[in-house]
Amino acid sequence: MNRLPFAIAGVVLAIFFGFHGFTLLTREPAHLQEVPGVEDYPLEIGLTWVYESGPGLQVVRKVVSGTPEHLRWYSMQFDLPLLGRKTLLMRRSRDGVLARRDNVEQTIMRFPMRPGDGWTIDFPNEDLAECTVLQPEEIDVLSTKAMASKVRVVRTNRKTGKKTTDHEWYVRGIGLAKMEVTFGLKATFHLIRFERAAASEGIPAIPKK
């Protein structure tokens, strides 16, 4: 039996049940290249991150909407094979970035990232994720070199107790610049485009609660 489709689907699931929302596509239309800002983790309507692992395999995430009030939530949109369209609500906080799933809010990233710092992500019905900031590393991102905060993510399957270890690299002004995910096989995705969607796409605001 050819297990490659199942392995690819596993990688997609690992990405989805991690920190962020992503889309697995063959190609994403190009927009205006975004210049890295000063925020640790940019959140703004229209921002798009495109990652690639090998020829033709892309992961794309996009901020598609936001709320106008001062406690601003942003909606990450992603379409996944077998899973359909999904979203993840995110917003900045004093300590980093919060996410909301099924009315549960948790810190999913702490900033600034200092080596030795750690936090736990414990959403119901998902793998437990224990995050630890390692020593920073210089990586290649968007045709240049940049210092990145490296985070080790140890995930524990709630049913089997099996642990898997992944890594993520964050660059100030860009956010997630590189990721290594494991689910049946290990794949590394590098950021190849950081863009802003065209205003003509008419990105809506999510309703207030």
Is pLDDT larger for residue 1 or for residue 181? 181
Q: Dump pLDDT digits (tens) for 73-85.
A: 999 887 543 455 6
Structural domains present in the chain: 4-197 (2.40.360)
Distance from the Cα of residue 128 to its chain's centroid = 16
pLDDT at 7 over 70: no
The pLDDT of residue 31 is 59
Is pLDDT larger for residue 168 or for residue 26? 168
Q: Dump pLDDT digits (tens) for 96-145.
A: 999 998 889 999 999 999 999 999 999 988 899 999 999 999 999 999 99
